[in-house]
Amino acid sequence: MPTPFKALAELCEKLEGIRKRVSMISSVSEFLKSLEPEEVEPAVSMILGQPFPKWSQRTLEVSWATLSEIIRRITGVDWKIFMEAFSKTGDIGAATRMVFESSKIKRQTPLFEKALTITEVRRSFEAIAEAVGAGSREKKERLTEALLSSSSPLEAKYIVKIIVGEMRTGFHEGLMEQAISEAFHVPLDVVQRASMVLGDVGAVAAVAKTEGKDGLLKVSFKVFRPVKLMLAQMASNVAEALKEHGGKTAFEYKLDGARVQIHKQGETIRIYSRRLTDVTESLPEIAETVKRNVEAEEAILEGEVIAVNGEGHPLPFQHLMRRFKRIHEIEGMAEAIPVKLYLFDVLYLNGQSLIALPYLRRRQILAERVGEIPLTKQIITDSVEEAENFLKEATSSGHEGLIAKKVDSDYVPGIRGKRWLKIKPILEPLDLVIVAAEYGYGRRREWLSDYHLAARDAETGEFLTVGKTFKGLTDMEIIEMTKRLKALAIKEEPRRVFVAPKIVVEVAYNEIQKSPKYKCGMALRFARITRIREDKAPEEADTIQRVKEIYKSQFSKKGNIQLKNSR
């Protein structure tokens, strides 16, 4: 018997009210048991607030503006009522339910009210996602309206929550794995392993329901279903990485590009970004290179794509981002910003999962299959000195640092562990000159405590501001500094004093960014004074040319920028 969507909505409602994890798990477990096999995956996805399984590239693309318009139309309520309900509950779904309820009396009840089933809701989501191209907005709107029109207030609450992706029941993927284990009597570690491999807990539940433990043990990667990426933790230096990995490890260049997971089946290649979205269309030449070089019927490979200049030298990350943001005229862009692929791992080859093999073995297999595609440069060593030289070599050839990989480590999808450790060079502090200072606030009202820091232009002798800081000095030092700076004042404003460039301070910082704030076009991030360099004259301070060099050698951090899907 098809399960009504109402049952799923009631379950979620119940979860919202339960605090105890064990009770949550057993409620979901009971529910999973009651489902028809084909309902399991859609139900699991929806309970977790997702319209589709994780590996799916489908998205609904229904904005809140559209959705609110539809709710308003269906219910006919004054939007003020919705906003009041929303500010009371802070929850879009709950507010939707309230306005549906308040309009129910007014709405004519159909004579024959057919209950929505879980399968029908999934089908509606599919139809909404499939509406693309011209007229798709109207079509999505019509389909969403039809779905919500046949929903009860409680059902509408959860349909809206799934559409906007805000389930907020506190029931997450980890708990779902436990519920699956309980419902289908499969050990939790077997469920977790399958979940790692399939990258989607709904798919795992479906296999558990129909094939049990044996089925789950057999699950393997499928091409065109991206696998969650293994990530690296930070190590402060190469010595720490060596120690963590038992005295000997493999160091690879850490390239400053975009992580890609490449799936190949015959002639078909798909490339997925760090967030597992399909970016194949943005990188046609990479797909072509893989097609030409990789010797495998089926494979899942990983690597880094970097932007390069005409001579093949790496360019900062921002350049690469322009490639990903580009949707049209890819060809022109491909010429203007060439990209290059370096591979570093293989997860799956011709029907076999390789993730349980030691890293070195995987790398060897990879090397045998990639034709002319380069692998990331690598050394295996137990020497701190050798590793430090390798780090210097990496950064001086324009790369970001190193990644240490434990030689016998497996590939663990979705985990940021210690098997991989990233090492970035420590940015050396700069000696800068104070050229102006501002009075502080509160306790520091009377003190010049916020300092403008400048580097000398070696060509003109001018001091150019590169940053500002109120951090690093003690109260006593600030009082002393205020006196000294007042004596050096050239120009005074109510809260600011410009001074002769005489006092040199050592400044630590996290990064040098491009910035329009200062004339030199760069700015230090998180600058702090580490000492007052009484021993240095302003002419000995670091130059703007040095700042520029450091800026060039360090690349922007990535990960916080989403690669845009080009489709």
Q: Which is nearer to ligand AMP, 162 or 370 (CB)?
A: 370
Q: Among residue numbers 288 through 327, which ones bind ligand AMP (CB under 6 A)?
A: 304
Q: How many residues sit in the footprint of ligand AMP (CB under 6 A)?
A: 14
State the catalytic residue, choosing from 222, 254, 406, 424. 254
- Name residue 178's amino acid: Q
347 binds ligand AMP (CB under 6 A): no
Q: Among residue numbers 414 through 453, which ones bind ligand AMP (CB under 6 A)?
A: 422
- Name residue 534's amino acid: E
Q: Are 217 and 356 in contact (CB under 8 A)?
A: no
Which of 376, 395, 449, 482 touches ligand AMP (CB under 6 A)? 376
Q: Which is nearer to ligand AMP, 231 or 337 (CB)?
A: 231
Does 254 qualify as catalytic in the annotation? yes
- Name residue 131's amino acid: A
* CA-to-CA dists, residue 250 to 216, 344, 378, angstroms: 33, 12, 7
Which of 337, 558, 561, 564 touches ligand AMP (CB under 6 A)? 558
Which of 344, 348, 359, 447 touches ligand AMP (CB under 6 A)? 344
| Cα 508 → chain centroid | 28
Q: 431 has which bridge partners?
A: 506
Which of 383, 559, 562, 567 touches ligand AMP (CB under 6 A)? 559
Q: Are 449 and 416 in contact (CB under 8 A)?
A: no
Q: Closest distance between ligand AMP and the C-beta of residue 122, in Å?
A: 33
Per-residue x/- marks for ligand AMP, 233-272, CB under 6 A? -------------------xxxx---x-------------
Q: At 352, which helix (H) or strand (E)? A: strand 352-353
Q: Are 358 and 331 in contact (CB under 8 A)?
A: no
| Cα 495 → chain centroid | 42
* CA-to-CA dists, residue 434 to 345, 367, 517, 526, 541, angstroms: 49, 54, 17, 16, 11
Q: Which residue carries 């139309």 as its tokens?
A: 73
Q: 523 has which bridge partners?
A: 513
Q: Are 410 and 483 in contact (CB under 8 A)?
A: no
Q: Which is nearer to ligand AMP, 191 or 402 (CB)?
A: 402
Which of 143, 250, 403, 524 touches ligand AMP (CB under 6 A)? 403
Q: Which residue carries 């929550």 as its tokens?
A: 161
Q: SS3 for 253?
A: strand
Per-residue x/- marks for ligand AMP, 59-88, CB under 6 A? ------------------------------
Q: Closest distance between ligand AMP and the C-beta of residue 363, in Å?
A: 10
Q: Among residue numbers 205 through 234, which ones bind ligand AMP (CB under 6 A)?
A: 231-232
Q: Closest distance between ligand AMP and the C-beta of residue 151, in Å?
A: 41
| Cα 230 → chain centroid | 13
Q: Closest distance between ligand AMP and the C-beta of residue 375, in Å?
A: 9
Q: Which two tokens stand for residue 187?
A: 């050990």
Q: Closest distance between ligand AMP and the C-beta of residue 71, in Å?
A: 40
Q: Closest distance between ligand AMP and the C-beta of residue 358, in Å?
A: 16
Q: Which is nearer to ligand AMP, 330 or 379 (CB)?
A: 379
How far is 463 from 513, CA to CA, in rounded Å?
A: 18
Q: Which residue carries 């309820």 as its tokens?
A: 101
142 binds ligand AMP (CB under 6 A): no
| Ramachandran bin of 219, using left for φ above 0, alpha for ψ from -120 to 50, beta for the remaining angles | beta
Q: Closest distance between ligand AMP and the C-beta of residue 184, in Å?
A: 34
Indicate the length of the chain as a whole number: 567
Return the number of other C-beta atoms located less than 10 Å from residue 358's C-beta.
14
Q: Which is nearer to ligand AMP, 115 or 375 (CB)?
A: 375
- Residues acting as catalytic residues: 254
- The residues of the shown chain that bind ligand AMP, judged by CB under 6 A, are 231-232, 252-255, 259, 304, 344, 376, 403, 422, 558-559
